[in-house]
Amino acid sequence: MSSSIITPVILCGGGGTRLWPLSRKALPKQFLALAGSDTMLQATLKRVSPKAGFGAPILVCNEDHRFLVAEQARAAGIEPAAILLEPVGRNTAPAVAAAAHAALAHDPDALMLVLPSDHVIGDTPAFREAVAAAARRAVAGDLVTFGVKPTRPETGYGYIETGTALDERAFRISRFHEKPARETAERYLADGRFFWNSGMFLFPARVVLAELESSAPAVAEAVAAAYAGRSADLDFVRLPKEIFASAPDLSIDVGVMEKTAHGAVVPADLGWSDVGAWDALWAIGERDATGVVAIGDVVAENVADSYLRSEGPLVAAVGVRDLIVVATNDAVLVAPKHEAQAVKTIVERLRAARRPEAETGALTYRPWGSYQGIDLGERFQVKRIVVKPGRKLSLQMHHHRAEHWIVVSGTAEVTCGDRTFLLHENQSTYIPQGAVHRLGNPGKIPLHLIEVQSGGYLGEDDIVRIADEFGRA
């Protein structure tokens, strides 16, 4: 590693629509355990942890995912230097600029290792060696990207063409190339000077801000003003919406890397995948002798070269090949592997039809825990609720529904009107329509509870929050 402490900057945006029905707007792929026991964000954080010689990370995410990001970092044993909240998505250039200001607030010579939160890297030692090589160039003032050694004539990635050698590991960037046609990709693969554009970078924070001021001044000006107007909210840093939204929607590739004279690339063989679609998970998955990746409750008979995954119901497949089958509690995807990229069109159709399955799943995460819909009918709804130890829901009331709570395990602290009391396993209570109430878990184990709602309207927007420890409106 370089003598300078490298600050990881983890970009946690992105919707991952090609991995529907598992990845959805409310819970996109970076927060899912798709390629191991850790979520993709947690795997990224551990790869660049302080134990490995890196500085405390800066995470950039949208407001809706702020509690997920904080909780997953905590569960991974990582304490971020900052969690920056983007009030609106403006692509990677504004996100990197905001992170650069935050990094410079801690270190005037900060080096930033910019990483997407949703990539798989199979060879961590090779990754860290590449970072060390990139740091040597960044200390010299270069803006470095990482080129992944191509293993096939891939048409779904952009390419970086290498130029003059700068040292034994790094090259000056000759040119960026857009996603090529098959014939061109085959030529790139045979040539040896072309590498996949990984979307990972190592920048001196001051230099990348200076480059933005030169090549994308509207981005630099808007983000500088937004960071100057920042405010603290619990463990988060909020950027004012109107100011940040004035920044153009621009990628760091287009805004800086394609224009700078200081661009460098470190080629590396990392076992890298951006996990852009289900066929990518099949390619990196643990396949049996017939080429089948089976995850969850799956039974396969005479199946070959397929990806079968269940997050709940039994999936049974007979006599198929080259297929993707993914089942959740509320949706099932079936597609040939070669159509994996087209899954996003299903999501677009669901959104056009205003189907909730496009945005949310049966399981919904909240800063206090989670809830899952079990049954829904005329004037009633049943949910399973899990409250983390020491957490409380907001003090609230409902205009249109009453609720029955039954404790399955753990201890519930219930406020209803002017009473506060405890409920234990197999005990229940009734919350009348219009009553001010609150649910909390004072215990040391998760509280599991069944909630039965009844009333004329059961939407989530029938919540009037009176007080909330998470600062939600």
Is-contact 384 448, C-beta < 8 A?
A: yes
Mean pLDDT for the stretch of residues 410-437: 97
pLDDT in tens, 331-390: 999 999 999 999 999 999 999 999 989 998 888 889 999 999 999 999 999 999 999 999
**pLDDT of 2 over the 80 cut:** no
Q: Is residue 356 part of a domain?
A: no
Do 99 and 200 belong together in one domain? yes
Range of the domain at 409: 363-467
Sheet hosting strand 380-387, strand order edge to edge:
363-366, 369-377, 380-387, 447-455, 401-409, 428-431
**pLDDT of 288 over the 60 cut:** yes
Q: Is residue 209 part of a domain?
A: yes
Do 393 and 329 belong together in one domain? no
**pLDDT of 1 over the 80 cut:** no
Mean pLDDT for the stretch of residues 206-230: 97
**Portion of the chain with pLDDT greater than 90, in percent:** 91
- How confident is the model at residue 460, as a pLDDT? 87
- How confident is the model at residue 3, as a pLDDT? 53
- How confident is the model at residue 338, as a pLDDT? 94
* Among candidate residues 349, 371, 396, the one where a domain is terminated: 349
Instruction: Report H helices in 239-329.
Output: 241-245, 252, 278-284
Q: Is residue 315 part of a domain?
A: yes
Q: What Rg value do the Cα atoms of the chain yield, rounded? A: 24
* Among candidate residues 273, 294, 327, the one where a domain is terminated: 273
As for how many domains the chain has, the answer is: 3
Q: Is residue 1 part of a domain?
A: no
- How confident is the model at residue 15, as a pLDDT? 79
Q: Is residue 355 part of a domain?
A: no
pLDDT in tens, 227-277: 999 999 888 999 999 999 999 999 999 999 999 999 999 999 999 999 999
**pLDDT of 455 over the 60 cut:** yes
2 vs 204: CA distance, rounded Å: 12
Do 239 and 292 belong together in one domain? no
User: pTM for the whole thing?
Assistant: 0.90
Do 264 and 285 belong together in one domain? no
pLDDT in tens, 296-324: 999 999 999 999 999 999 999 999 999 99
Is-contact 262 141, C-beta < 8 A?
A: yes
H/E stretch holding 349 reads helix 343-352
Higher-confidence position of 439 and 63:
439
Q: Is residue 472 part of a domain?
A: no
Do 169 and 202 belong together in one domain? yes
Do 181 and 311 belong together in one domain? no
Query: Which residues make Cβ contacts (< 8 Å) with residue 432, sequence separation at least 6?
Result: 402, 416
pLDDT in tens, 10-57: 999 887 899 999 999 999 999 999 998 999 999 999 999 999 999 999
Do 176 and 219 belong together in one domain? yes
Q: Is residue 473 part of a domain?
A: no
95 vs 349: CA distance, rounded Å: 29
Take residue 165 and report the two structure tokens written for it: 């050698």
pLDDT in tens, 151-183: 999 998 999 999 999 999 999 999 999 999 999
Do 216 and 287 belong together in one domain? no
Q: Is residue 357 part of a domain?
A: no
271 vs 196: CA distance, rounded Å: 12
Do 301 and 318 belong together in one domain? yes
How many other C-beta atoms lie within 10 A of the C-beta of residue 236? Answer: 21
Mean pLDDT of the chain: 95
Do 11 and 60 belong together in one domain? yes
Mean pLDDT for the stretch of residues 453-467: 93
Q: Is residue 204 classed as helix, strand or coil in its secondary structure?
A: strand
- How confident is the model at residue 471, as a pLDDT? 83
Looking at residue 100, its amino acid is: A
Do 292 and 251 belong together in one domain? no
Do 249 and 304 belong together in one domain? no
- How confident is the model at residue 235, as a pLDDT? 86
